[in-house]
Amino acid sequence: MSESRLILALDVYERERALEIAECTAEYLWAIKINWPLIIGSGLKIITELKQVTGLPIIADVKLADIPNTNRLIARKVFEAGADYIIAHGFVGRDSVEAVMELGETIIVVEMSHPGAKEFIQPVTEGLIELANELESFGVIAPATRPERVEYIRSKLKPGIRVITPGVGAQGGKAEEVIRAGADYIIVGRSIYGSENPRESARRIFEEIEGVV
Ligand code: O7E
């Protein structure tokens, strides 16, 4: 089996449910992304538990968007809890992102997947791509709901910077299409954890993008 390009967005509240879904889908995943719903519902200790159960990297999607000192205070605790990657907003400015990057691998949001992203984020995507290029972040977040924007963002980014795309499935994005547009990884939440058989749903998406170049 080739290395997976699928990231599970584990947006449930309950610890037991989270661990159960993570364990049964792990075989088809590259990493697990946790967001505020799971952190609020189960606490930061869920990071260690997920790693013990799956052995996979954990992306903490805490969407940091504060002054450098507050970003630093939050990121320190999240990395101490075992997170491998953290997601930060770039629109708050270089100093805020740098404060996070000093502590660990960072993924910068350059555009979002929902319709409202066109109002305020898309107009500044260009500058956010430049920021990611200058800081050489681990990756950027780009919208799977707009493959043409993924293609554009990929074309403007330095080669080593990963393009990570949420919005597949429940938000309308198509896994294969977005990988062809240049995404390195896709993030899928509800279409996996909300389905009747999460393992089978993860397997199907994994197979859809396996071998796509
Ligand atoms: O729609 P789903 O259920 O497949 O879940 C998508 C996940 O990706 C969910 O955790 C959501 O918060 C996140 N996400 C987006 O959907 N769109 C974005 O533009 C950005 C993210 C994200 O990962 O956050 C980084 C800011």
pTM: 0.98
Does 66 participate in catalysis according to the annotation? yes
Answer yes or no: is 61 a known binding residue.
yes
pLDDT > 90? residue 213: no
- The mean pLDDT of 168-191, rounded to a whole number, is 98
Closest ligand 1 atom to Cα of 170:
1
Given this model, what pLDDT does residue 2 score?
A: 75
pLDDT > 90? residue 1: no
- The mean pLDDT of 103-111, rounded to a whole number, is 98
Q: Is the CB of 31 under 6 A from ligand 1?
A: no
**Cα–ligand 1 centroid distance for 31 (angstroms):** 14
Model ipTM? 0.97
Mutate to test the pocket of ligand 1, among 85, 138, 187, 191 (most ligand atoms within 8 A of CB): 187
pLDDT digits (tens, 9 = 90+) for 79-99: 999 999 999 999 999 999 999
Domains of the chain: residue spans and CATH:
6-211 (3.20.20.70)
Q: In the predicted model, what is the mean pLDDT of the chain?
A: 97
HEC per residue, the chain: CCCCCEEEECCCCCHHHHHHHHHHHHHHCCEEEEEHHHHHHHCCCHHHHHHHHHCCCEEEEEEECCCHHHHHHHHHHHHHCCCCEEEEECCCCHHHHHHHHCCCEEEEECCCCCCCHHHHCHHHHHHHHHHHHHHCCCEEECCCCCHHHHHHHHHHCCCCCEEEEECECCCCECHHHHHHCCCCEEEECHHHHCCCCHHHHHHHHHHHHCCCC
Does 95 participate in catalysis according to the annotation? no
**Cα–ligand 1 centroid distance for 167 (angstroms):** 6
Closest ligand 1 atom to Cα of 143:
19
pLDDT > 80? residue 168: yes
Does 184 participate in catalysis according to the annotation? no
